[in-house]
Amino acid sequence: MLYSFYMQGLTFEQDCLIGARSFLDTWVCKHPLPFLVGLAYEGILLQVTILVAFIFLFVSYIIYRKVFKIR
């Protein structure tokens, strides 16, 4: 997306408004910072969720090995 509007000589807001379909879309185009912070927050939540899932799998595997005496 960044590539497309830089190549056409548009600003972020102009490029964003081209694809805007609702009032919320136009508000995000004019005030992108809270939206970008929200995306970053969601990204952090996703990373934490994946990390917790891997820790859970690792602990489950260790418990499985202890219970069934597998080396």
Mean pLDDT by 10 residues, the chain (71 residues): 57 72 74 69 78 95 87 64
- Which pTM was predicted? 0.42
Task: Quote the domain boundaries for residue 13.
Answer: 2-68
Specify the pLDDT at position 56. Answer: 97
The domain total for the chain is: 1
* 3-state class (DSSP) for residue 65: helix
Question: What DSSP element (H or E) covers 2?
Answer: helix 2-7
Supply the DSSP string of 5-51, one letter for each residue. HHHTT--HHHHHHHT--SHHHHHHHH-HHHHHHHHHHHHHHHHHHHH
The single residue listed with the structure tokens 């000589």 is 9
The 10 Å CB-count burial string (b at 16+, else e) for 25-39 is eeebbeeeeeeeeee
Specify the pLDDT at position 7. Answer: 60
